[in-house]
Amino acid sequence: MTAHRRIDASKVGEVTVVRFIDKKILDEASIQELGAELFGLVEQLNRKSILLNFSDVEFLSSAALGKLITLDRKVKSAKGRLKMSNIRPEILEVFQITKLNKVFDIRGDEAEAIAAFQ
Amino acid sequence: MAHEAAAGVRPDPSSGGWRRTIDLPSERGASRLIMEELLEQLGHHGWEPSDIFGIHLAVEEAIVNAIVHGNKLDPAKTVRVSCEVTPQLARIEITDAGSGFDPAAVPDCTRDERLEVPSGRGVMLMRSFMTAIAYNARGNSVLLEKRRDPQNG
């Protein structure tokens, strides 16, 4: 696995499960790095099934939302699938306010999300 | 700073609220120079974690906008942040040295055709999480207010 500083990526069957190193995703430089690492999963490593597990994430800013949107587009254009899970209520509210819950495939927990890839 | 339709609740100074004004450099990440203390004071004044989350997000978005879009990261310019926290009211004013912008001209990021555009969500998040937000006429200063819901108080 490529060295990552902002994410921890592991494989569960065919699904690449990503956890976030930062509890608060708000620093602009970290968000740039996070974006590059996430995009690398699709563009360099050709991962087709990606699950973002947000269980460690307490806070994220709109700049981070931008990276998630771009990731979603990259995955879709590579004919892959992106899902998200374990999002705490405050962050889910952010997705609902911005209506990104209509764009992203959001599942309750990791097991449910992995099952949904089958 | 004269804000259009500024919401009118003035905290009673005798209630022992916290106030602080700071000038932030126009550098990415500068919000941390005030954020930690602001969050600590909100907790100290009895605000709920969900309210603190919303205020944190709104203030972060406003400061990033001021530094990046307002001052355009110009090291000669600063962003003034004035905070006032009481158990009933959090009021944060963020003013940059830029020429201002028209908040009404920000497109609605929740329209279908803009849903997948990766930027332009900060102002909507500020409006959603705060009780009131108001820009001054020039558009270089935003006043964010959160009033405590009396039922949760």
Residue B116: what pLDDT? 85
Could A70 and B110 be called an inter-chain contact, meaning their C-beta atoms sit closer than 8 Å? no
Residue B120: what pLDDT? 85
Q: Which residues, in sequence order, are CB contacts of A93 under 8 Å at separation 6+? A: none
Residue B5: what pLDDT? 46
Q: Which of A28, A66, A94 sits opposite B118 (nearest CB)?
A: A66
Residue B7: what pLDDT? 47
Residues of chain B under the 70 pLDDT cut = 1-15, 151-153
Show which residues on chain B lie within 8 Å of chain A, measured between beta carbons.
Answer: 28-29, 31, 50, 53-54, 56-57, 60-61, 64, 109-110, 115-119, 121-122, 124-125, 128
Residue A38: what pLDDT? 98
Angstrom distance (rounded) from CA A16 to CA A22: 18
Output the tens digit of pLDDT for each of chain A's 118 residues: 568 999 999 999 999 999 999 999 988 889 999 999 999 999 999 999 999 999 999 999 999 999 999 999 999 999 999 999 999 999 999 999 999 999 999 999 999 999 999 8
